[in-house]
Amino acid sequence: MNIANLKLADIVDVEFLQRFQDDFAKSIGIASVTVDLDGKPITNPSYYTRFCDQYTHSTKCGDDRCAESHLRGGQEAARTGRPYVFECHAGLIDFAAPIMLEGKLIGTILGGQVLTAAPEEEKYRRIAKEIGVDGDVYVEAVKEIRKLPREQIAAAANVLFIVTNNLSKTWYYQHRLRQTSGILNDQISQIIATMEELASSATDVNQNQTTLNIEVKNVSQVSEKINNVLDFIKDIADETRLLGLNAAIEAARAGEAGLGFGVVAQEIRKLSGDSKETVDKIKELTTHIQASVNKTVTMSDLTSQTVEQQSAGIQQVTASVQEISSLTTELMNLANEK
């Protein structure tokens, strides 16, 4: 949060501040109002006197002089960082208590509208003439003003200064907590969504890996069956070779009559030899296939275990993040409490 752009109205609980200001002003008998950096009131005036409310502020001249007087008092309070007690343009004792946050002025409590001694009539008749109000009623009104020792006025200003500055810090940190919790909650929600997608993907991968393992095992079983068939073919080839050898012997015994049969016997033996050689090559290839399949099965099993571990880890992380999310929600609820 950039404190340079922060305004008093952004963080204060105006309703609470108004109640505190009203009760304090009534109990002490000192008027007060809280304004922002631009001098705009964020609370309603508390315990304003008839002298100020009905007469001094009733003319543009008087109102402008009040604004200028408040501005000077606020500037001095901001310069010193402490409450400043002064006499306003209308001859009353006022004060300005700065509301500071990390060394920066964010508002001011203006108060007073009291006297420290009995008013001098001529002084207030002169002021009444300057601002354009009836001198007699102005003097009557100023006589109603409460008289307090200057030390008591300064003490009241200091109490307002201490309380409002502590309240502003509390509200500021609550405001920051609320904002930070909101950002954290959004980020955690995104993390949870991502983890759920990862968990879902891991489940899909695990299922696909299981299916792949089944198919690989099927290939392994088919390879074994091919080897069995090849062994059977090899046996037939061996028997065919024996038959061809026997046929060649018989053809030799038959002499010229067996010449044609001898050619056939020779072809049978050649076919048997070629078949046996082909079977050996196929069997060699199926052996390689079988070895690759076994290796693939082993790797698939390891991959499946890894995926299962990843899935379990993701679920644990998701559960932890959800617990953090619950705590963040609790923080937000605490930050929003009044």
CATH of the domain at 31: 3.30.450
Both structure tokens of 63:
């109102």
224: CATH: 1.10.287.950
Q: 328, 183 in Cβ contact below 8 A? A: no
154 located within any domain: no
CA 151 – CA 103 distance, rounded (Å): 26
Residues 325 and 282 in one domain: yes
What is the domain extent for residue 286? Answer: 182-336
CA 164 – CA 171 distance, rounded (Å): 10
Can you give the length of the chain in residues? 338
Q: What is the pLDDT of residue 208?
A: 67
Residues 326 and 281 in one domain: yes
Residues 121 and 189 in one domain: no
Of 150, 143, 153, residue with least CA distance to 55: 143
Q: What is the domain count for the chain? A: 2
Neighbours of 249 (CB within 10 A): 13
Q: Give strand pairing partners of 97.
A: 109
Neighbours of 140 (CB within 10 A): 14
200 located within any domain: yes
DSSP of 135-165, one letter per residue?
A: HHHHHHHHHTS-B--HHHHHHHHHHHHHHHH
Residues 187 and 134 in one domain: no
Prediction pTM value = 0.60
Q: What is the pLDDT of residues 52-93, one digit of tens each?
A: 999 999 999 999 999 999 999 999 999 999 999 999 999 999
Both structure tokens of 50:
């008839």
Residues 193 and 253 in one domain: yes
Q: What is the pLDDT of residue 327?
A: 62
121 located within any domain: yes
CA 198 – CA 132 distance, rounded (Å): 78
3-state secondary structure of 5: helix
Q: 112, 126 in Cβ contact below 8 A? A: no
Judged on CB neighbours under 10 Å (0-12, 13-18, 19+), 114 is buried
Residues 197 and 295 in one domain: yes
In terms of DSSP H, where are the helices of the chain?
8-11, 14-28, 50, 60-80, 121-131, 135-143, 150-254, 259-336
* Cα radius of gyration rounded to whole Å, the chain: 50
49 located within any domain: yes
Q: 293, 216 in Cβ contact below 8 A? A: yes
Q: 109, 41 in Cβ contact below 8 A? A: no
Q: 138, 55 in Cβ contact below 8 A? A: yes
Q: What is the pLDDT of residue 42?
A: 94
Q: 161, 127 in Cβ contact below 8 A? A: no
Question: Within a 13 Å sphere around the CA of 240, how many CA atoms are in the beta-carbon half?
Answer: 18
Q: What is the pLDDT of residue 275?
A: 60
Q: Give strand pairing partners of 111.
A: 32, 95
Q: What is the pLDDT of residues 119-142, one digit of tens each?
A: 999 999 999 999 999 999 999 999
Residues 45 and 131 in one domain: yes
Written as tens digits, the pLDDT of the chain (338 aa) is: 566 778 888 888 899 999 999 999 999 999 999 999 888 899 999 999 999 999 999 999 999 999 999 999 999 999 999 999 999 999 999 999 999 988 888 999 999 999 999 999 999 999 999 999 999 999 999 999 999 999 999 999 999 999 999 988 888 877 777 777 777 777 777 777 777 777 777 677 667 667 766 766 766 666 676 666 666 666 665 666 666 566 567 666 666 655 555 555 566 556 556 666 766 776 676 777 667 667 766 766 666 677 677 667 667 766 766 667 676 666 666 556 55
